[in-house]
Each structure stands twice: as structure tokens, then as C-alpha cells.
Structure 1
């Protein structure tokens, strides 16, 4: 456990776990200082900034990097600033949109004075912690003189040209915080949004491996719905995402979806060219599109160190313009590339594109996400989004249909995808119980693809319902009501999976059948839905 690095010499550091406990990062104003104090207060003011390194990617060359030579100094906006003396909080303030702050305090007769800029904002409530150090709160710290003074803390990126100097790598948590602040404030500017508190875990030890997050094994930069937390990669020479703003906002968009809208997305690996389960295609395409809308920048860049020598490079795409040759070989409702470009086209002006004659503002997109998308009885796909969008005042449905056609999606009329035969074909309506049927799934694909999923829809009558799926291969079943998982079964590698539940009268339920066969080839599954 370490303390305030460099505090005594007016250096920069971060808060240790002990300091985090003393700070009570939930917002405790601190303890009263019992010692005699001078009669008058002193004021410290200044501007807080950080190094921002652009993550670049060229769709033409298919390459990119972190452009350290293009580093710009940005303000730390909305951050909490505190004055401490021997770990006692004397005063608190926040930085403005330019990074400026002013705080007055009355120092005690003795004891070390410290200015701390927390990687934490209040509106919205976001804080960046070190998951490998007992969730210590990242902060800049600098010693004070107990006199009126100007102090301008600056968080450096720490890059030397060949690697990072660990003690100078201080900009990362503030870059992450600022990207999420940008995304949040964009929605706050158009609607009275109330976002729940968000914790973000970043560490220079975070690597793309599965395991214990407390040791830095976070799998990838990701949003954890179970923890309502975002993890960000940070291991130099492996994968660092702190300056990959699109990656940051993409993960924030999943937090927004989980908190205020709805996400039926089952997760899993995905990429360009995949024919995905339409829940995944929408969720990931939405995340990409929202990042491009809110930053705003249509070129998505994700940097990493590649190869044994650790060459810094980037992958990415243009969320606005499809390249040639295409990165979307299977366009439509099951393609995240189609969904991201469709959503981006809905939002932008589209003046230079013949297929794009519709512009939907961010407020309307918000209203769809927190309204019909959240409450739909169908699964959350492009179908539920478009059906909800067409209900909004002032939306030109004919222009929306023209845009859908460009991405080889039919003129969707209902949340169930009616109008797009491929999407509506995901759903099998079950009008009467008992139901018994057989369907073929395709093995050799990931569990989150179109080939391995089908939906079955029925209405409850107030009785218990039994759902069973039988196959020689591994399958799972789950039943949902407006996105809430009611029951599921996925315990066997073959044979019959079954569950029963009480189905409320008039409520519509969706049974999702998912296959997990890893070897290629079609395989049959029998499904039954019965009620006494």
C-alpha cells in the first residue's frame, strides 16, 4: 500500500487505498480539524489539464496509432478538487468547463497541506479507480503553501518515445473520465437525464486475459452489467485503451443502455462480416454509432501493441462511409456494420448521400431508447428501435424506409420486424398451446450468431407453462418478458433442457433457443411449450 506519491515536494501522484478510505469517495465532506487555526482563510486557484493523445486510424491504409506527436492539452472538466491537511478534508470545489477552479480553506496550525484533483465528477457521477489496488481512486496531488497561490496541476501522458515512465503516466484516468463526461453531457444537454453513479476500473496492469480483475485480468475493455461497472485495458506493450475515445464511449453506451434503456444483447465475440443474433447486431452497432455521434467523430480507432516486438498499431472503421472493398459483406438486420451506419445516418445531416434524407436529433434518439425500446415485448433489435422511432413526432417514415432499404433492411413496421422478412423470420408465433416443433440450427458458429438462435412467442393464460428443448447437441433455452429473464435451462451437453414457470394472463413471452455446437453442420432441435 502506498501513500500520496510526491505530495511533500509538490509533485503529482494518486490516492492510495488508504487515502480512498479517508476520502470516503461517496462524497463525505471530511472531519473537523480540532487544532487551532489562523483567523483568515486562504485561496488557491488555477486550471487543471491533461495530455490527450489522439488515437488515429485510416480506412484507406487500414492502419493507425497513438499520435503522441499530436498531443493536445485538454481541460479536466467537472472534476472534484479537494484541499486536505493530514488527510482531513478542509474544502471542496469542482473544475468548470475550462478546467478552472477556486477553493478557499483555513489551514490548521501544522500539518502537510495537499491539493487533490480526483478522477471523479459529480454531474454526472463518474469516478475512475484502480482495480488492482483495492479500487483506489485516481487523483492528481500537489503540495500547498498555506498562502494565497495559483496552482495549475497537469496530468502528463508519460510516453518517452519507446515506453511509459510509470510515475508520469497520469493522464490516463482523466482521459477516460473526460470521454465519458462528454458522452453524458451530450444527453444532459437535450433531456433531463438522471444517470446512476458509474465506477470505471482502469489500471496499467489491466490485460486482455480472463481471470481475477483485482490482478488486472479483465478479459477486454468492457461493461459489466452484473457489476454496473466499466473495465478499461491499460497494459503498456499489450493493449492500452485510455486514449481510444470511441472504445471508451462504446462501453459507456452499454452503461446507458443498461441504466436507462434496455439491452437484451447476450454478449460474446463479434466483428465485421459476422451474421449475428439481431440482439447483438443492434447492441454493438448502437455502441459504435453512439460513440461516433457523441464525440463527434465518425472514424473509430482502437489501438493496441501487436506482435512480439510490441509495435503500436490500430484497427478501426468509418461509422459513416462504407469502404471499398466493403467491410459489410452480409448487410441487413444481423450486421453490426449495417446497424452502426444506419443509426449514424439517422443522426447526421446526410446532405451528400442520396440514400440519406432524414435527420433525427439526439433528444429523439434518447426518447426512443428510454421509451419504446425499453418497454417492447419483442427482443431489442433494429426492429424494436425503428418501430419506436416511427412513433416519434416529426419523423419522416418514408425517408427512414429509404435509409433501411440502402442497408438491405425492409420497411420495418412493428417491433417484431414485420416488413423485414429475415428479421421477422427470427420469431415463430405460437398461437395455441401445446406447441411442438423442430428446427435446425447451424453448428460451428458462435453462440451469439443468427445461425445458433431462434425465438418463439406466446401469450400467457394464467397457468404454469413448461418449456423443453431436446437435442443430441448442446442447447440452452430461456424465456423473457419485456427483456426480463423469467426462467432458463442450460445444464446439459446433450439431451433435454426444461423449465416451468407461471405465465401471467395476457403477458407475451419470448422463448430464446440457443445452440452451442462447435463443429460445423446443421443439427436438429425439438422444442415444446405446454400448459395444463
Structure 2
């Protein structure tokens, strides 16, 4: 008898602070600084998750979740573990073509059943190989049950890469998912035991009629491909613990008005990093991906691109620099350049990590797909190579995705005359030069740092030009010419950055012509060179007239670190503050209501900025 079960272990005391996370219509990391959550012994607890893993018997030999290393010869209990996958095609999920695939790289355990029932006492632990095969060494006459954790795991303490990715239920205290064979038997009586996680689809059905036991294992199988991509870049990479929160209850209701993540109201699939800080020091952090599971609305367990898109955000937060701000967005929006880069990067990562996946997992890695609707019978899709879009430029998620994916892929045509693979791309993001850039992270930062590391300037410039962006000469887009973009004629977009000269007023305007919060021109970017280490006084005043009356909110950054944020007390009032600075800084300035999404009336609010 096979059961899908949830264990709810003891609470783990982990102090945290919340920052948003995002992808594909989600909420990326906030520009707000991590606020201290108090002492690590406070009541803030990260609940649920798997207990610690006993070292798997084949931990060292399985250097990848794809490895097909043979089962150990001394195994007394062997078998294969499978799950049923509902394939995603151009029209949605295809319930007529359910496939049976191996569970790769998962923790398999024999648990004591000497009392006639399955207990929680683990007797032996191993990992399934790339064929789903496992082998456990248990005494011949020991009565056991067999269970598979919804957990990809490898301990790299003795060499090689390490990872720990686990699927838990956010609507049940983050309880972890297991697949349990509750048959009580000894290896002597039953030496071979196969386990199958069923999709919950009966023959001839176009929807789920049984428990969806396969869902969590389908998510992990997709992430196995992502892990393998990272190993190809760095065979000793240490991936931080990642908790994937999935539930059949996870829906698109926004996290507001009494709704909560604990009820499944997640708004959309997204990534979140939570930090615990003491002063400026980060004591600990967590990484979480939340995925939709609401049947007949939007489910993501069989959407490989959605899952690996969120994995792309996890990579940014773990190894690079996350400057993007949150809020809703769509593929055709004119975005804040920080968000355009982060979302385009995650889109590209989705195709890159699936590039070598079998057709049973994804039939075309270069086409981003997301199933939704009644019976999951619809799919949104767009090509990652994306050329000729109506919205193209440094503010376009699709443009960034196209540039990065074409830098990676081996299929070259038209203006695409370069195939770098993933390593040079990922190495730019985790380089000290990129992470310590004075700019906010954007397409310019990435391309400029890539060109400094690679000799293929002409080929890189061609991809950038094909997306209506000027040749990149620095991290700031200094040579950008908006006359070549679809934003030509728009206000407050002529310069990517505005120079702030000391003791000289400059006027900039926050404009919601493309939308609020995270759209292009809501936030204006100013460069301030503070050559002397001292307190600098900022005076930001709304202008008079039709474009006046705004309420300024300003953020001051140094190399991606937020030093201070300040907000005027009321519409029309001046914002005056002082802060100690030295070196090059970026100041972002916006009208509070536009940035908060509280004013849908299209307009502009202008401010004079003086620093002395």
C-alpha cells in the first residue's frame, strides 16, 4: 500500500526578517533594508521541514542526481521509485499522455516496523540514482516499511557539490511530503520493493480525481535538472538549503485583506529570502519558493519553466546581487531597469537549466510555458530568443531574456553569432566586479562586465543592438539614445541616470506613464559622487504648478547596499535629511503614491534636488 503522508516535526527556532521574492508576475526582493527581528531566541520560528538526513550510504558516489551509479552489492532491499508526470504541451497539461519517470537523487529510507506498524525510526538511508534505483542494507529478518522523502540531497563535506531541496506544505505548518510503502515486510520476505507516486489522474480523465501524490516529486525532478546545470559550472558548488512550498490550496489570491500564505493565498508563484540580522550583520537566512497548486485555476507542479524561473531568483540571492523591487508585472511591460534585468535573467535561466532535459520533462526548453485555466487546459508561452517585440530595450524583461539566452545557446542565426554556454554568464554574476558595481544592477551592468571578461565584443554588441539598446560602454548606459526605442516621445526617460553635482539643483520627475510601483520612470536614478567623507545634506522640494505637489521618497545606495531611506511627511512638503557618505552613490527618487501603487491617475510629480 502506497500512501502520501505529511510529517509535522518540532519547530525550528530561526529568527528571520522578510523580503519579497519574485518571478513571472511576482514580487522580487524589496528595496527596503532588512529590519532587525530581535534576538535569535525570539518567538519568530521557521516551522516545519524535514529532520536532519542520516548520511546516505551512497552519498559520495552519487555526485549528481542524474548519476546512474549501480546499487551497492551488499544491499538487502532494492527497488525503483517512480512518479507519474502530466506533460505540458502548447495547449496546457495533456492528461492523455501521463508518463512514468524515475525519481532521481531523492532520499529513500527504511523505517522500523517491528511492532507491526511503520514507525518514524530510520534504520537505513540511501539516495535513488538517475534511473530511480535504490539499495538499502537492512538485516534480512528486520521488518521495515520504505519511504521516499520529497527531498533532493547531497552532503558535499567530503568533496563535490552539496544541495538540500525539500518540498513542504505551507498550508499545513510546512509539513514535508513523503511517499510511504506501508507494507510491513522483511528483506527476506520481500527483497524488492518499487514505489510509484501517482498523478491522481484516472484513465480517460482530463483532470485530477485522486490525491496528487506525484506533484512534489515532479517539482524535484525539474530541480534535479537545475542542480545538474550548476554542477556543470562548478563541480564543488554549495547550494544553500531551499524550501519549496507547494499545496493544492496555493492560489492567486493576493496576500492581503485577511488572506495569508498559511491559507494558500500566495498571489502567484514566487521566490522569497528571509533574513535574520543583528545590526548590519546577517545572522541567518532562508530561501523559499512558493508554487501554485489550485486546480482549475493555476497549477505549477508540471510547469518546468515556472519552477526554474524561481530557481533563477534563488541563484541571484545566493550567489550574486538582488537589486530588483517588487510588484506585479507582465512580459510586455516597460519595467524599472532593475526588475527588467532580474526577471529577464530568471526567464533565461529557466531555459538554460532545462536545455539538456529529456523530452518527457520539457519538449522545447527555448519556449517558456505556464499552464492554467479549467482542467489546466490552457498555456501562456513565449520564445526565450524573442526578437522583434513591440517592447524592447533595457527596460524589457523579454529583451534581457533574449540577450542572455542567445549568449548561452548553441543555435545561432541572424544576429546571434555567439555560444558561450552557461559558465561565463553565471561567473559574471558572482564576480566581485559585478557585485561591487556602483550602479544598480541592470542589463548594462551585466553586459559591461561580460565584455570585460570576454573577447567577443562584436557578437555581444549585436545581440544588444537587436533589442534596441545602444552599445554598452559602462555600467550606467551612458550612451543610451531613447530615439531608438519605443519610449521615444515619453517624458522623463531621456537619461538612464542623472548626474547630481554638489551645491547645484537638478529637477527630476517621477512619472507613472507606464504604470505604478516597478514600471519605467516611476523611480529616477541619480549619481552622486561624494569625494569627501562627511555628512551631506539633501533638500528635495516639490516643484510648483501642474507637476508639483508630490511627496518624495528617496533611497541612497552604495554598491547595492541601502544606506538610508527617507520620505516626506505630506504631499507638497519638502524632504530634508543628512547622512554620512563617501564615494559614488546611487539615489533613487520617486513620488510615494506612484511607488506604492496608490495613485492610478497618470501624471508626473517633479522635484528639485539639492545636495550640499
Q: Same fold (TM over 0.5)?
A: yes
Q: Give 1:465's match in structure 2, choosing from 536, 551, 562.
A: 536
> Which is worse superposed, 172-181 or 248-257?
172-181
Give 1:491 deviation, angstroms: 6.8
Task: Please name the residue that 1:303 is paired with.
Answer: 371
Task: Please name the residue that 1:25 is paired with.
Answer: 50
d(CA) in 2 for partners of 1:530 and 1:105?
Answer: 73
Give 1:26 deviation, angstroms: 4.5
d(CA) in 2 for partners of 1:497 and 1:145?
Answer: 73
Q: Give 2:187's match in structure 1, choosing from 142, 147, 169.
A: 147
Kindly indicate whether residue 469 of structure 2 is the aligned counterpart of residue 415 of structure 1.
no
Q: Give 2:496's match in structure 1, choosing from 426, 443, 458.
A: 426
TM-score, length basis structure 2:
0.75
d(CA) in 2 for partners of 1:78 and 1:527?
Answer: 58
Task: Please name the residue that 1:234 is paired with.
Answer: 293
d(CA) in 1 for partners of 2:568 and 2:301?
Answer: 38
Kindly indicate whether residue 129 of structure 2 is the aligned counterpart of residue 113 of structure 1.
no
d(CA) in 2 for partners of 1:513 and 1:145?
Answer: 67
Which one scores higher on RCO, CA 8 angstroms, separation ≥ 6? 2
SS in 1 for 2:307: helix
The superposition leaves residues 126-179 of structure 1 with CA deviations (integer Å, 9 ceiling, x where unpaired) of 111011111111111113411241111111111242432343x11111111121
Kindly indicate whether residue 526 of structure 2 is the aligned counterpart of residue 456 of structure 1.
yes
Contact kept, 8 Å, 1:416 with 1:424, in 2: the verdict is no
Kindly indicate whether residue 345 of structure 2 is the aligned counterpart of residue 318 of structure 1.
no
Kindly indicate whether residue 457 of structure 2 is the aligned counterpart of residue 389 of structure 1.
no
d(CA) in 2 for partners of 1:50 and 1:159?
Answer: 12
Task: Please name the residue that 2:343 is paired with.
Answer: 284
Give 1:117 deviation, angstroms: 0.5
Task: Please name the residue that 1:37 is paired with.
Answer: none
> Which is worse superposed, 246-255 or 43-52?
43-52
Task: Please name the residue that 2:130 is paired with.
Answer: 97
| 1:170-319 equivalences in 2 (<5 Å) | 170-191=213-234, 192-209=236-253, 210=255, 211-226=259-274, 227-296=286-355, 297-305=365-373, 312-319=377-384
The superposition leaves residues 332-377 of structure 1 with CA deviations (integer Å, 9 ceiling, x where unpaired) of 11111111111111111243x2211111121101111101332211
d(CA) in 2 for partners of 1:513 and 1:238?
Answer: 38
| 1:467-486 equivalences in 2 (<5 Å) | 467-471=538-542, 472-486=549-563
Task: Please name the residue that 2:486 is paired with.
Answer: none
Kindly indicate whether residue 6 of structure 2 is the aligned counterpart of residue 15 of structure 1.
yes
SS in 2 for 1:13: strand
Give 1:470 deviation, angstroms: 3.8
> Which is worse superposed, 174-183 or 457-466?
457-466
For structure 1, the 5+ residue unaligned runs are 1-9, 31-40, 58-63
Task: Please name the residue that 1:137 is paired with.
Answer: 176
Task: Please name the residue that 1:80 is paired with.
Answer: 107
The superposition leaves residues 212-240 of structure 1 with CA deviations (integer Å, 9 ceiling, x where unpaired) of 21111111100013352110011112211
Task: Please name the residue that 2:579 is paired with.
Answer: 501
> Which is worse superposed, 404-413 or 12-21?
12-21
Shift of the 396–28 alpha-carbon distance from structure 1 to 2, 3 Å rule, reads closer
d(CA) in 2 for partners of 1:186 and 1:345?
Answer: 17
d(CA) in 2 for partners of 1:151 and 1:527?
Answer: 73
Q: Give 2:510's match in structure 1, choosing from 441, 458, 461.
A: 441
SS in 2 for 1:263: coil
SS in 2 for 1:150: coil
Shift of the 478–26 alpha-carbon distance from structure 1 to 2, 3 Å rule, reads farther
Kindly indicate whether residue 89 of structure 2 is the aligned counterpart of residue 56 of structure 1.
yes
Shift of the 18–443 alpha-carbon distance from structure 1 to 2, 3 Å rule, reads closer
Give 1:448 deviation, angstroms: 0.7
Kindly indicate whether residue 568 of structure 2 is the aligned counterpart of residue 523 of structure 1.
no
Q: Give 1:362's match in structure 2, choosing from 399, 422, 428.
A: 422
Count residues in correspondence. 491
d(CA) in 2 for partners of 1:43 and 1:416?
Answer: 62
Task: Please name the residue that 2:166 is paired with.
Answer: 127
Kindly indicate whether residue 189 of structure 2 is the aligned counterpart of residue 164 of structure 1.
no
The superposition leaves residues 280-320 of structure 1 with CA deviations (integer Å, 9 ceiling, x where unpaired) of 111111111111111020111111125xxx66311111112
TM-score, length basis structure 1:
0.86
Shift of the 91–424 alpha-carbon distance from structure 1 to 2, 3 Å rule, reads farther
d(CA) in 1 for partners of 2:88 and 2:537?
Answer: 52
For structure 2, the 5+ residue unaligned runs are 13-47, 56-73, 113-118, 155-162, 275-285, 356-364, 483-492, 543-548
Task: Please name the residue that 2:458 is paired with.
Answer: 398
